[in-house]
Amino acid sequence: MIEDMLRTPSAVRDAERYTAHNYHPLPVVISSAEGAWLTDVDGRRYLDCLAGYSALNFGHRHPALIRAAHEQLDRLTLTSRAFIHDQFADFCRELAALCGKDLVLPMNTGAEAVETGIKVARKWGYQVKKVAAGQANIVVADGNFHGRTTTIVSFSTDADARADFGPYTPGFTVVPYGDLAALEAAIDENTVAVLLEPIQGEQGVVLPPEGYLPGVRRACTDRNVLFIADEIQSGLGRTGRTFACDHEGVVPDMYLLGKALGGGIVPVSAVAADADVLGVLRPGQHGSTFGGNPLACAVGTEVVRLLATGEFQRRSAELGERLRAGLEGLLGGGLVAVRVRGLWAGVDIDPALMTGRQACERLMDRGVLVKDTHGSTIRLAPPLVITDDEIDHAVAQLAAVLAG
């Protein structure tokens, strides 16, 4: 039988047998990739319309990023922050310039960047704002997704992410996303920061109401509170601008970055802020063995240089309009809502037709990979190197799935 000759079924069974079930992946086993395309162990090709949750903004194996990684692998991969290596200053200087900030603190994962931002905000609150010891609080939004550490899930409103992981870390106030009045009311004399995703990705690419982010910026300025923008998924070209905050001309006090910063090669994250914020840290108060390592810095610097050209932001904006037009053409034909910002889309399927998971499985069968979230919602986040024809192909396959 043909199935007996395929490698995928046994690889899926082994993955199920030997790994903790903290994910529910589609039954596809990838062995190679290039640009916007993936190939599985049986030679079938798929159009990648997830891009590693934005970690692959520049596509799979972008030549400039692979070259930077190879060159660094031949010289030096890891030292320790007890020393300075020759890639460190370039990465920090060029990323700070891209962000318009004085300083950068490199870490590894997005969750580490968020944890770093929380620690810095609290220390700033005690040292600069003079909040009473142990009283600092941070205002966050419901529907948030900032990571999965015990501190971060303490202020999650997603039962799957939070349940049974208590006791929970105090010091957070949750308000409805997009409700400026509720956010302003939640800020008190002990509030040190407002932590928000400018666009809520995990929630289904939920866009902020017009004027919301500028209102948050004003409230933070007026009340002497730090505005922390979690741009780990939304930043670095994904939405058609360098940062999602740029769409409304908003500059936060602190950027949290990750995913695309590692070019799909190594985990790289960072916090970027001015010296009056990040400058509160002193030696020994925060760190990471692998944070800012030579390989990460070499790749991260090349990522920043790609973004500095503006090419990928332009591609995301222009191709995003094509994606929007295609998806909006399916409204009433199986889709009940479409939200698009650049090459990032959340689409709600009529739940009477199918669940999001079923849609993803049927798209997989048609050679397109996407991810579901929250019932009948699916997300599309293709690499920024995708072409017009490939976008049209993805939309056509979704139309075929919806048509049954």
Tell me the per-residue pLDDT of 204-233, one tens digit each, with 9 for 90 and over.
999 999 999 999 999 999 999 999 999 999
Q: What is the pTM of this model?
A: 0.97
Domains of the chain, with CATH numbers?
2-61+311-403 (3.90.1150.10), 76-308 (3.40.640.10)
CA distance 331 to 306: 35
Identify the CA nearest to 250 among candidates 289, 288, 290, 219: 219
Tell me if 177 sits within 8 A of 142, measured CB to CB: yes
- In DSSP notation, 226-245 reads EEEEE-TTTTTTTTSSSSGG
In the block, tokens 């997989």 appear at 364
CA distance 309 to 300: 15
CA distance 262 to 275: 24
pLDDT of residue 370: 98
Catalytic residue among 58, 88, 91, 145: 145
Q: In the numeric block, which tokens belong to residue 178?
A: 């997009």
CB atoms within 10 A of CB 309: 9
259 is catalytic: yes
List of the chain residues with pLDDT < 70: 1-4
Q: How deeply is 336 buried, as exposed, middle or buried, from its count of CB atoms within 10 A (0-12, 13-18, 19+)?
A: middle
pLDDT of residue 191: 99
Who's near 314: CB < 8 A, 6+ residues apart? 240
Tell me if 316 sits within 8 A of 384, measured CB to CB: yes
pLDDT of residue 4: 63
145 is catalytic: yes
Tell me if 294 sits within 8 A of 80, measured CB to CB: no
Catalytic residue among 40, 48, 230, 253: 230
Separation of first and last alpha carbons in the chain: 28
Tell me if 347 sits within 8 A of 28, measured CB to CB: no
CB atoms within 10 A of CB 1: 5
Q: In the numeric block, which tokens belong to residue 151?
A: 């501190």
In the block, tokens 């199920």 appear at 16
CA distance 294 to 216: 37
Who's near 1: CB < 8 A, 6+ residues apart? none
Tell me if 38 sits within 8 A of 48, measured CB to CB: yes
In the chain, the largest separation of any two C-alpha atoms, in whole Å, equals: 72
pLDDT of residue 1: 45
CA distance 102 to 83: 21
CA distance 94 to 310: 14
- In DSSP notation, 113-151 reads HHHHHHHHHHHHIIIII-PPTT--EEEEETT-----SHH
Helix 63-73 / helix 294-308 crossing angle, nearest 10 deg: 150
CB atoms within 10 A of CB 208: 25
Catalytic residue among 101, 129, 259, 371: 259
230 is catalytic: yes
pLDDT of residue 2: 54
pLDDT of residue 5: 81
